[in-house]
Chains A and B, each alone.
Chain A
Amino acid sequence: MRVAGLHARASLRELMRMPGYVVPTLGFPTMFFLFFAAPGSDDDATTLMVVFAGFAVLGVAFFQFGVGIATERATPWERYVRTLPVSPTQRFGGRIISALVFAAAAAALVLVAAVLTTSADLRAPQWGQLAVALLLGSIPFALFGIALGYLAPPRAALPIANVVYLTLSYCGGLWTTPDELPDAVQQLSPYLPTRALADTLVGIARGDPIQREAWLVLALYTGALLALAAWAYRHDEGERYR
């Protein structure tokens, strides 16, 4: 745990000193919210706030895991770190802690911007539920990011992550609310993990009971993506470290 913390601290330091990473990762979802969601929002301000918070957390899951792993995996530094007495679990622990910090910051920015500029608001227990839902709901996406990081060539990871991130976010209803999507997208949407995430978040915003079906979908995706991520990780080890 101590070693995982040290790796997290090093990774946070490294990233914090790269404005080119920090500003877009943290600012992009908030900017999107302020441009496209906040104007004209009224009754649905709270719903829009929570789905955009989901959008923000997803970005960190895709980019910090996916793009981060893909670009690091080919570096001499990564090869060197693998000769240190550190286990893969400790390294993943470090990655997760550092991603959590960024995800929390990105989501907090959206929430603050929404509360300040729109009529969005939640009751105290709802804020707590939102935090838990964002944390649990982002797990399958972090796993997808890990799989992408180990499967995609370093230069391809960023464009792939972008396309998947934006497409899934839109089709899942993280930029509008799920029921405002065009018909064609509505047909596809229920099968997407982002839609399940959106449903859980919207449920919390509306004070509905727990969205069992959406959570089940997320759990299924988590299982499948865990298998894919584990396979991708071992495949990488196999290719380069047999």
Chain B
Amino acid sequence: MTAVARLEGVSKSFGQVCALDDVSYEIPHGEIVALLGPNGAGKTTSLSLLLGLRRPDRGTAQLFGDDPTRPVTRRRLGTTPQEMAFPGTLRVDEVVDLVRAHYAEPPSTESLLGRFELGALGRRQTGGLSGGERRRLAVALAFAGAPELVVLDEPTTGLDVEARGAVWQELRLFVSSGGTVLLTTHYLEEAEALATKVVVIDRGRVAAAGSVDEIRARAGAGRISFRREPLPSNLAGDVSEDGDRVVIHASHPEEVVRQLVHTGARLQDLDVRPLPLEEALRLLPRGS
């Protein structure tokens, strides 16, 4: 599988602040890669290197095997920035036309606006759009050049559930027709629902990378809970209490259950389930 974009050992500082420290990850063709991590972890900085907005202090950023700071390299790229404001007096269709004009084979303005439920807004000045409409226009513009890779920085922040679903649908459609997606998100359910691959960035480093299942497996795969009772002290998991129940987060829940059975635990109302990604990420060993 070829990588559409990659960062290799990149570091980037702003004054005294080290935003990225020896970060490497790649975006394989045909995948939806979600970049996860807390605010200020370095997600947006790493995107800005891939988009050619900044240059790394060390290491290399590659887009389609080439230097992203060269304009020609970006011909097969579409982007949606985290924040977006358009020239307020330009109409929606004028903004779309301007962006389309940079590419060789753009889709028609009407079809693009239609795909993102902006069809009725073409003649509206962008200054009069609502927050959600602006967001949808920003996402639509990422597709204005019939790109091979789209990079979206928090594409669904501020969208209602329905609009978010529509964007997800477009992204899946795009990937099924041969496209590749890199997105950052705060919504873990977005990564879980959408991503085929996850890269976790924390404090400027890659904390984990892999499929959603792999991340979960690395973090601790399961959550065991049952009616409270005395427990052995050497359990291979993270024990907490929730009301009258004991909750154990464990990387190998089946071993914990086996151990409990051996000690003669009663395990009343036993419940074992995989961890949601959010809890899995919290359990990740730092710097692994």
Does B120 belong to the interface (CB within 8 Å)?
no
0/1 string, A218-240, CB within 8 A of B gives 1:
00000000000000000000001
Contact B71 A80 (CB under 8 A): no
Does B75 belong to the interface (CB within 8 Å)?
yes
Secondary structure at the A interface, as helix, strand, loop or mixed, is helix
User: Cα distance A87–B75 when bound, in Å?
Assistant: 12
Does A182 belong to the interface (CB within 8 Å)?
no
Contact A82 B53 (CB under 8 A): yes
Given known contacts A10-B90, A14-B89, is B54 in contact with A241 (CB within 8 Å)? yes
Does B81 belong to the interface (CB within 8 Å)?
yes
Contact A76 B53 (CB under 8 A): no
0/1 string, A65-84, CB within 8 A of B gives 1:
00000000001110110111
Nearest-neighbour CB distance to chain B for A228, whole angstroms, equals 23
Contact B75 A83 (CB under 8 A): no
Contact A86 B102 (CB under 8 A): yes
Contact B85 A77 (CB under 8 A): yes
Given known contacts A3-B101, A10-B90, is B72 in contact with A80 (CB within 8 Å)? no
Contact A77 B55 (CB under 8 A): no
Given known contacts A76-B81, A77-B84, A83-B79, is B94 in contact with A10 (CB within 8 Å)? yes
Q: List 22 A-B contacts (CB under 8 A).
A: A2-B101, A10-B90, A10-B98, A17-B89, A18-B89, A76-B81, A76-B84, A77-B86, A79-B53, A80-B79, A80-B81, A83-B77, A83-B79, A83-B81, A84-B74, A84-B102, A85-B74, A86-B102, A240-B53, A241-B53, A242-B54, A242-B55
A-contacting residues of B (Cβ < 8 Å)? 12, 48, 51-55, 57, 71-75, 77, 79, 81, 83-87, 89-90, 94, 98-99, 101-103, 125, 138, 141, 145
